[in-house]
């Protein structure tokens, strides 16, 4: 007997907002995110007979949505920018290599003023991320915010590790410039 059961009649009420928020952080386009969520629900209905009940309903739908996001980027992914570039990362001084994402405070360990400041910082970071080129924004979000592995990102986007690290470096540099201009 399965641990979890599907109830497609409740999917929109229970999961549409969550799935949309998940999709929008990956594609940065509301219309595309809505389409991906709709495609996820359709795919879920079509493959409901394959659901074994091992995972929670929402987890199962997220897995489908992840595949839809991957498919979306595979469709638009071009073969440009596949040059091999070697990068070294050295930490010779205390501040060198101290990227912005390492400075963001832990929200669970904050008082009142720090919570507001951290929320404002989060909004400023999100605003700066939205100004990055689409692929840089996606790669930075996947690697730094979502913590995905280099191998998974490269497989999903059809890029090599060198290209990924170049994009992350460029995103970090642009974010630091944007944050210096708009926050610090």
**pLDDT tens string 94-124:** 444 444 444 444 444 445 455 555 667 777 7
Which tens digits make up the pLDDT trace of 62-74?
Answer: 889 988 888 887 7
Question: Three-class SS of residue 100?
Answer: helix
28: left (phi over 0), alpha (psi -120 to 50) or beta: left
Which pTM value belongs to this model? 0.46
């Amino acid at each position: 007997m399965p641990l979890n059961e599907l109830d497609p009649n409740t999917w929109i009420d229970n999961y549409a907002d969550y799935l949309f928020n998940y999709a929008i952080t990956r594609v940065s386009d509301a219309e595309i995110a809505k389409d991906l969520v709709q495609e996820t629900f359709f795919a879920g209905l079509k493959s409901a007979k394959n659901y074994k009940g091992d995972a929670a309903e929402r987890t199962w739908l997220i897995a489908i949505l992840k595949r839809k996001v991957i498919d979306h980027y595979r469709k638009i992914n071009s073969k440009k920018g596949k040059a091999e570039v070697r990068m070294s990362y050295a930490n010779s001084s205390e501040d060198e290599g101290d990227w912005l994402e390492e400075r963001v405070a832990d929200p669970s360990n904050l008082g009142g003023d720090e919570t507001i400041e951290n929320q404002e910082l989060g909004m400023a970071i999100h605003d700066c991320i939205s100004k990055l080129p689409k692929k840089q924004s996606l790669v930075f979000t996947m690697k730094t915010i979502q913590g995905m592995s280099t191998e998974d990102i490269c497989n999903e986007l059809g890029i090599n590790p060198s290209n990924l690290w170049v994009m992350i470096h460029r995103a970090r540099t642009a974010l630091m410039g944007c944050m210096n201009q708009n926050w610090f």
